[in-house]
Amino acid sequence: MWFVRFLSSSIGKKLIMATTGLLLLLFLCTHVAGNATIYMSSEVFQGYADELHSHPLIVIVFSTIFLLIFLAHIGMGLFLFYQNWQVSKSRYSVTTRVVKNTFSSETMPYTGLIILTFLIVHIFSFTFSSSEVPISVTVKEMLGGFFYGLFYIVSFIALAFHLNHGFWSMLQTFGMNHPRYNDAISKLTLILPLFFLIMFAGIPLYFMTGLGASY
Amino acid sequence: MELNSRVPSGPLADKWNNHKFSNKLVNPANRRKYKVIVVGTGLAGASASATLAEQGYEVQTFCIQDSPRRAHSIAAQGGINAAKNYQNDGDSVHRLFYDTIKGGDFRAREANVYRLAEVSNEIIDQCVAQGVPFAREYGGTLANRSFGGAQVSRTFYARGQTGQQLLLGAYSALSRQIHAGNVKMFNRREMMDIVLVDGKARGITVRDVMTGEIESYYADVVILATGGYGNAYFLSTNAMASNVTAAWRAHKKGAGFANPSFVQIHPTCIPVHGDYQSKLTLMSESLRNDGRVWVPKKGDDKRRPSEIPEEDRDYYLENKYPSFGNLVPRDVASRNAKEQCDEGKGVGNTGLAVYLDFADAIKRDGEDTILKKYGNLFQMYEKITDSNPVEEPMLIYPAVHYTMGGLWVDYDLMTTIPGLFAIGECNFSDHGANRLGASALMQGLADGYFIIATSVAHYLASNSLEEVLGSEAPFKDSIQEVEGRIDKLLQNSAGGPAGKLTVDEVHKELGRLLWDHCGMSREEKSLEKALEELPGIKKKFWDSVYIPGSGKDLNQSLERAGRVADFVEFAEIMIRDALAREESCGCHLRVESQTEEHEAKRDDENYTHVSVWEHISDVEAPKMHKEELKFEFVTPSQRSYK
Amino acid sequence: MSSINLTLKIWRQHNSDALGNLETYDLDDVHTDMSFLEMLDILNEKLTKEGKEPVAFDHDCREGICGMCGAVIDGIAHGPEKEVTLCQLHMRNFSNGDTIVIEPFRSRAFPVKKDLLVDRSALDRIIQSGGYVSINTGGTPDGNSLPIPSSNAELAMDAAACIGCGACVASCPNGAAMLFTSAKISQLALLPQGHAEKKQRALSMVAQMDEEGFGNCTNAKECEAVCPKGISIRNIARLNREYLFAALTEG
Ligand SMILES: Cc1cc2nc3c(=O)[nH]c(=O)nc-3n(C[C@H](O)[C@H](O)[C@H](O)COP(=O)(O)OP(=O)(O)OC[C@H]3O[C@@H](n4cnc5c(N)ncnc54)[C@H](O)[C@@H]3O)c2cc1C
Ligand code: HEM
Ligand code: SF4
Ligand code: FES
């Protein structure tokens, strides 16, 4: 079948990565919007969280879709990583990389895995947190802790690196590479990860530095 | 040796059409019963293989390189001529014909050259349809440039990589036929011998370069498209694997070799800079459109070029040939550069170079304009020499470039061995004593795409060939002969390298001999001296060349040795041919035959012929035959570029 | 002109089945005006005179156009200079006393045949699977009957400049042949002549590429950085586009 053939081809797999990557990116956008309410006040944030949880169906459907996308992205990502690792292990006795900014691109699977660990921790500590304590309190308590906060920050740095290569790479995979737009795209590969870094990592910093003490 | 050119009768413009009609055909359903061997995948070989396979023949194609796309044609830079007259500047088939035959100094066959001009237009259409990215005007039509001093713009080009793009076009057509199973491609095979059954070419013997295996293949027709023999000189602009072996082996089995001494020496190459040098690099002729050629007036002037004032410079081409100036034909430009250097006025470390100066052009048109035209050539020059032509004049010197001589063929491109055809640079047919720029690509593709299929059909339809299976005695004998030869090449290896020579050392010695005595100018005494020295080189080769490794394996030294052995034998007819032609014509300048102004002087009365050499035996001298050339439609005139 | 002394570490391997290893050779008085292959010639002459087997390597035009030469020099395919093939790399890029490590182009699809010489016929098979316009000789329309914007012709020419050397594969961390394949796909996608078959071409060339055992592209851009002809990864983007479109709409 054409779809199977498509998916089993090298470019097909890449397109899966890019499509799921794009969807994850969109998810991040909605998530960041929700999180932004934290900066307003604990009431607004609590309101947002309560509102969200008053529609369990929406939450379940979205969570499942999101989980599937994630699994597809991770599964495919690790599969590609494994395949490529097989090709490249012990190829040359001297290896020199000519392209400069390869740090992000070479560490894609690793930054991805950090994000994955983060996610598991994150889901267990917030989504499945005891429903007795208001979420805004949990957030403040956990993120204010030094190690937990640090873990958060490191994870978002990893996400920033992942997106630094990932965003450009996604567009390239979709076939978007044109001199007229490449300038803008290369700016976005910096702006976008930085934006997410500030927005997400800002939260633990907000609490750790004591700025959110009155929260 | 019978030399029947089989030129069809009738008016010049109708000959090819009449011929196509009178030639016999093979019914499409019968074609797949015939096997064709094509040796070589340059423009000629690749296009012929694809075309014959499309028509239904079972084709087997061979090349030395690891892929058919790497044939030497890939290196052609300048362009390909065609009589399209897209520029509306007065071009026509007849003019292209006339320019080509005049450029060849009236030593080519009228009918062949006319046919070449005629099919030139179809070549462009074919290549465009294949997706060859020729340069375009802003309006989307094909662009042209004038090339090699032609007065019309008829050269089609794809940047400075025309040969590459045309070859990739032919290679793609070939690839399509390989995919369809109509062509069986044999890479990394070197043809070592041709197999004759009943006096007809029925197969070849090759060495698998990777394994050392000697194999033979059979067919009904064998087509050689193995390129030129410029590497006889060791240093040339040809690719390293270019050789005379295939043509020479055919010659030894009975194919006449025509005009072996006609070798074109290209004026604008990067000079030799050390004895380690392995090949010479061509700088496109187009540079002479804007560059001015000069040398210091006094010999041994050690000043930097920018420090030499105008009055101490000799712009010798502009002074000697006021109307053509720097754009004189290749042979004239080359000869004059050599003359200047012989007088001690050469420049550079070795004194074997002249300046090609862009300072005036840059002053006139601005650096940007000049860089736009020649930027990539300047870059290439700088990469090799580490000097920037914008700041300092280029150093150039002539180098062996193209061989007009080759296997003698009739109008059908068949050699004197029935069933053996020769196309592309490896035949002698269309360029006479000198080839015009951008005409070799045209000829290779004309032969391969548009001519050879008619000839093959006619030959197959008019001869009844007995069946062969490749296991008959002539095939076995040929394999044995080739194996014996390889053993002989390796005979000195047992004793180790002490006191022995490497292949390259002997090749360089042969090259120097040919360059000094049978190069840009030739003289009876000097040629005779070369002929005397040649057996010494041959003896040295067989007595003291040491080849490491074995014949049963990939052995690049052995490959080279085989080619050099043939160059050494071949050099003899080259020198003899130069000696026998006591006139100057085209690239062949006999010092004895010059006008008062030291220009080449033709002797139409005695030398309006093709000299065709016949191999008699390894110990007897070769025999020369003549194919008289008749000029019915043009009148030979003395070339003059004053 | 000056001379330098070098230590060379060269991959020696007798045939595809044999184990290979890096051998060390000293080579003195190397002129800096020499090309890299001329340097290897000198080494080979020296080895021959010492009764050793010379280093096998592929080469032909020595002008940077046939695509036959190539090796990995200190970890970089075709060596340190940008946009040159190995045959056009000159020794002035190296300094006296340098140690140079020379290894063959490696990829699962390029078996090493001997020393630095590898089998790149996989690239030929990719072209055979569809890198052409399916027309026969003769009967083609006049060359000017199809106007082509000069900018498209130029872009097509940029892509068509690929010499099939395989450096992109050798340098790709995953051994992918995307740059090579995309160059041919792009050339024919940019020209109207290639349009009729463009979907089928993209599908079959990619299928062949996968079958040969080339890796996946992870957009690492190494290929573009070492490509002697400056083929841009914009062509890979075009290939992805062509492939996506073909996969979604063909058949
Ligand atoms: C640097 C340079 C620039 C040039 N520029 C131009 C130009 O701008 N315009 C122009 O018109 N012409 C040009 N020419 C000339 C032109 O390129 C050649 O004449 C032409 O390409 C020859 O094509 P061919 O098909 O006859 O042979 P080649 O392309 O030489 O092919 C020979 C083929 O035969 C094979 N072969 C050879 N010997 C054997 C053997 N023993 N066994 C098996 N296979 C064998 C080789 O593998 C190869 O495939 C140029 C030449 C050079 C050197
Ligand atoms: C919110 C989280 C994530 C986002 C937004 C995201 C986004 C992206 C994007 C846009 C790409 C580029 C796709 C392409 O090259 O076409 C990508 C690639 C990749 N991602 Fe993620 N990703 C996320 C999480 C993960 C996780 C958890 C993993 C786990 C292993 C992972 C592994 C990879 C890998 C290995 C690649 C590289 C694939 C390649 O280049 O071939 N990602 N990601
Ligand atoms: S894309 Fe570049 S590196 Fe790859 S084969 Fe073509 S020329 Fe060589
Ligand atoms: S030898 Fe032809 S590209 Fe290097």
Domains of chain C (ranges plus CATH)?
Answer: 3-113 (3.10.20.30), 120-249 (1.10.1060.10)
Ligand 1 centroid from CA B131, angstroms = 21
Q: How confident is the model at residue A38 (pLDDT cuts 50, 70, 90)?
A: confident
Identify all chain B residues contacting C130, using CB atoms and an 8 Å cutoff: 179
Most A CBs within 10 A among C174, C181, C222, C238, hence the mutation to make, goes to C174
Residue-level pLDDT at C106:
95
| pLDDT digit string, tens, across residues B351-362 | 999 999 999 999
Does A205 have pLDDT greater than 70? yes
Ligand 3 contact via C185 beta carbon (within 6 Å): no
Residues 578-607 in B contacting C (C-alpha not used; CB under 8 Å): none
Torsion angle, alpha carbons of C61, C63, C64, C70, to 10 = 60
Instruction: For chain C, list residues whose CB is within 8 angstroms of any CB belonging to chain A.
Output: 22, 72, 74-76, 101, 103, 106-108, 171, 173-176, 206-207, 209-210, 214-222, 225-226, 233-234, 236-244, 247-248, 250-251
Q: Quote the Cα angle for C51-B546-B403, to 5°.
A: 130
Pick from C56, C68, C147: CB nearest B66 = C68
Nearest Cα residue in chain C from B76? C65
Are C115 and C109 spatial neighbours (Cβ–Cβ below 8 Å)? no
Mind telling me how many Å the CA of C243 is from chain B's nearest CA?
20
Q: Quote the CA–CA distance of B276 and B504 in Å, as a whole number.
A: 10
Which chain A residues are Cβ-neighbours of C250 within 8 angstroms?
2
Is the pLDDT at A99 greater than 70, yes or no? yes
Q: Is the CB of B77 under 6 A from ligand 1?
A: yes
The minimal CB distance from C92 to the residues B70, B386, B546 is found for B386
Annotated catalytic, B330? Answer: yes
Task: Answer yes or no: is the C-beta of A171 below 6 A from any ligand 2 atom.
Answer: no
Q: Which residues on chain A are in Cβ contact (under 8 Å) with C173?
A: 84, 88, 106
- Take residue C213 and report the two structure tokens written for it: 């055992």
- The pair of structure tokens assigned to B346 is 């050469």
**Closest-CA residue of chain A to C76:** A96
Q: Which residues of chain C does B504 touch, with a Cβ-Cβ cutoff of 8 Å?
A: 41, 45
CB contact under 8 A, C75 and A175: no
Contact B128 C66 (CB under 8 A): no
Distance from CA of A188 to the nearest CA of C (A): 17
pLDDT tops 70 at residue A214: no
Among candidates A95, A99, A175 on the partner chain, residue whose Cβ is nearest the Cβ of C240: A175
Q: Would the pLDDT of A59 be above 90?
A: no
Q: What's the average pLDDT block by block, 10 residues per block, for chain B (642 residues)?
A: 94 96 95 97 98 98 98 94 96 96 95 98 98 95 87 92 97 98 98 97 98 97 98 97 98 98 96 90 89 93 91 95 87 92 92 95 93 86 92 95 98 98 96 94 98 98 94 97 97 91 96 96 97 97 95 96 98 98 96 88 96 96 97 89 72
Q: Which chains contact A through at least 3 pairs of Cβ atoms less than 8 Å apart? A: C
Options 3.40.50.10860, 1.20.1300.10, 3.40.50.460, 1.10.3720.10; CATH of A2-208: 1.20.1300.10
Identify the residue with better confidence: A201 or B11.
B11
Task: Round to whole Å and give the CA distance between B457 and B454.
Answer: 5
Cβ A15–C244 below 8 Å, yes or no? yes
> What's the confidence (pLDDT) of residue A129?
64
Is the beta carbon of B562 within 6 A of some atom in ligand 1? no
> What's the rounded Cα separation, in Å, for the pair B334 and B313?
19
Q: Which residue's entry shows tokens 């005379």?
A: B244
**Residue of chain C minimizing CA distance to A182:** C234
* A140, pLDDT greater than 80: no
- Looking at residue B597, what is its pLDDT? 79
CB C160 within 8 A of CB B165: yes
The 10s digit of each residue's pLDDT in C92-133 is 999 999 999 999 999 999 999 999 999 999 999 999 999 999
Q: How many CB pairs under 8 A join B and C?
A: 221
To the nearest 5 percent, what fractions of chain A are helix, strand and coil? 80, 0, 20
Residue with CA nearest ligand 1 atom 21? B73
Instruction: Say what the pLDDT of residue A130 is.
Output: 63
Q: Which atom of ligand 3 is nearest to the CA of C163?
A: 7
At which residue do the structure tokens 């032919």 appear?
B170
- Is the minimum CB–CB distance between B213 and chain C shorter than 8 Å? no
Ligand 4 in contact with C38 (CB < 6 A)? Answer: no
Whether residue C172 is predicted with pLDDT greater than 80 in this model: the reply is: yes
Residue A188 has a pLDDT of 95
Distance CA C100, CA C87 (A): 16
Residue A14 Cα to ligand 3 middle (Å): 22
Closest ligand 4 atom to the C-alpha of C58?
A: 1
Say whether C140 and B129 touch across the interface (CB within 8 A).
yes
* C67 CA: nearest ligand 4 atom: 3
Reduced 3-state DSSP string for B577-612: HHHHCCCCECCECECCCECCCCCECCCHHHHCEEEE
Joined together, the tokens standing for residue B481 give 């002969």
How many other CB atoms are found less than 10 A from the CB of residue C183? 26
B126:C138 CB<8 A:
yes
Burial label for B540, CB within 10 Å (0-12, 13-18, 19+), is middle
Q: Are strands C72-73 and C117-118 parallel, antiparallel or unpaired?
A: unpaired
What is the sign of the dihedral through the CA atoms of C165, C169, C172 and C176? positive
Lowest mean pLDDT among B282-286, B444-448, C140-144, C208-212: B282-286
Q: Is C55 a residue whose pLDDT tops 90?
A: yes
Please indicate whether chains A and B are in contact, defined as at least 3 beta carbon pairs under 8 Å. no
Q: Is C27 an interface residue toward B (CB < 8 Å)?
A: no
Whether chain B has a CB inside 8 Å of the CB on C220: the answer is: no
Q: Helices A108-122 and A56-88 meet at what angle, rounded to 10?
A: 150
Residue keyed to tokens 């001329």: C38
Residue closest via CA to ligand 3's atom 1 equals C180
CB B593 within 8 Å of CB B584? yes
The complex scores an ipTM of 0.98
| Distance from the first to the final alpha carbon of chain A | 56
Q: What is the pLDDT of residue B328?
A: 86
Q: Whose CA is nearest to atom 6 of ligand 3?
A: C162
- Taking the Cβ of residue C160 and every Cβ of chain B, the question of whether any pair is shorter than 8 Å is answered with yes
Helix H or strand E segment including C6: strand C3-12
pLDDT band at A142 (very low <50, low <70, confident <90, very high): confident
For residues B263 and B404, what is the distance between their CA atoms, to the nearest angstrom? 6
Element of type H or E holding B534: helix B524-544
Which of C240, C245, C249, C250 should one mutate to test binding to chain A, selecting the residue with the greatest count of A CBs within 10 A? C240
Given a cut of 90, whether residue C35 has pLDDT beyond it is: yes
Question: Does C144 lie at the interface with B, CB-CB under 8 angstroms?
Answer: yes
Interface test with C, best of A98, A170, A173 (most C CBs within 10 A): A98
Which candidate in B69, B107, B330, B522 is catalytic?
B330
Q: Ligand 2 centroid to A24 CA: how many Å?
A: 9
pTM, entire model = 0.96
Residues 6+ apart with CB under 8 A from B23: B412, B454, B455, B457, B458
Q: Ligand 2 atom closest to Cα of A81?
A: 35
pLDDT at position A101 is: 65
Say how many Å lie between the CA of residue C160 and the centre of ligand 3.
10
Report strand pairing: B221-224 vs B420-422. parallel
Please give the domain boundaries of chain B with CATH numbers for all domains: 12-164+177-262+404-462 (3.50.50.60), 265-401 (3.90.700.10), 490-601 (1.20.58.100)
The answer to whether the CB of B184 falls within 8 A of the CB of B170 is no
Asked if pLDDT for residue C1 goes beyond 70, the answer is: no
Least Cα separation, residue C42 to chain B (angstroms): 7
Q: Under an 8 A CB cutoff, do B548 and C51 touch? A: yes
CB contact under 8 A, A177 and C234: yes
Alpha-carbon torsion (B322, B328, B332, B337), positive or negative: positive
List the subunits that have 3+ CB pairs under 8 angstroms with C: A, B
